[in-house]
Amino acid sequence: MNSIEREKLVHHYLEAYNEMDVNAMLEVLDEDILFENYSAGEKTHELHGLDAFRKQAEEALDYCSERKQTLEFFTHREDESEIHISYRAIAAMDLQNGIKKGQEIRLHGKSIFRFSEKKISEIRDYS
C-alpha cells in the first residue's frame, strides 16, 4: 500500500473519531485490528479484534462531550505510518484520573498505524 492510500485511511479514521462516529471508524479497520495505548511509556490498554474495538470506542463516547485529534504531520516507513497529533477534549464526566466534568483536556502524542489488505490492522497510541 502506498503512502497516499495509507493517508486516506488515516484521515478517514481521524475524521470519524472527531465526529464520534464509531461505525465510520470501523469501516477502515481490519477484522483482526490490534489496538494498544501507551501513557508515560507504559502500556495502559490493549484490544484485539473489531468487536473489542467497537465496544471500547462506544464506551469512550461517554467520556467526552467533544473531542478532536488534529493531525500535525505524517512519517511513512516501509511497514508503518506514524502521525503526530494534538488532542483537545472536554470531559463529560468526572474521570478516574482526577479530571472533572467540564474540564478541558489537551495532549500531544503520536499514533503508529500498520496496514493489511487496504485496511488499518494495528494502531498504537502514545501520549
Q: What is the DSSP string of 45-99?
A: EEEESHHHHHHHHHHHTTTEEEEEEEEEEEEE-SS-EEEEEEEEEEESS--TTSP
Q: Residue 96 pLDDT more than 90?
A: no
What is the domain-level CATH number for residue 14? Answer: 3.10.450.50
Q: What is the pLDDT of residue 107?
A: 92
- The reported pTM is 0.93
Q: What is the mean pLDDT of the chain?
A: 95
Higher pLDDT, 117 or 90: 90
Q: Residue 52 pLDDT more than 90?
A: yes
Structurally, the chain folds into a number of domains equal to 1
From residue 55, alpha-carbon distances to 44, 48, 87, 119 in Å are 17, 11, 22, 19
Between CA 122 and CA 28 the distance in angstroms is 11
pLDDT digits (tens, 9 = 90+) for 9-35: 999 999 999 999 999 999 999 999 999
* Domain membership of residue 18 as a residue range: 3-126
